[in-house]
Amino acid sequence: MAASRKLRTAHFLMFIGVAPLVFAAAVATAAIAFARSQPGQAGGSDGFLVVALGVFGYLTTLVLGGSGALWSLYLTSRRIDARATATVVLRASVLAGLVLPLLSLAWFAWQLR
């Protein structure tokens, strides 16, 4: 397989890997908006499902997006002329998708002290 084809495959893995986390964030935002607008209507199982979807989205991003980012890093380190702006943007979005939930969780735990 050509190096450009491998890099496109790594881009696809990163893009698909970030999509479930973005979807989980959208569902969590909608659930919070619903809970604020309709007090007492959102039950405990709704919150549990939102948390489970967030964990699933994060793990999917970790596996698919992280492996795509590592593979693209490996490919670009071996072949310098294969670097592209899309590679940098996708790699940064995967890194942000993996780091920001952990930072927000740490901030929330600090607020509970």
pTM score above 0.75: no
Per-position pLDDT tens, the chain of length 113: 777 788 788 888 888 888 888 888 888 888 877 777 877 776 667 778 888 888 888 888 888 888 888 888 888 777 755 567 777 777 788 888 788 877 877 787 777 67
Q: Which of 13, 22, 14 is nearest to 95 (CA)?
A: 14
* Tokens matching residue 87: 């590679």
* Tokens matching residue 34: 């619903």
On the 0-12 / 13-18 / 19+ scale of CB atoms within 10 A, 83 is: middle
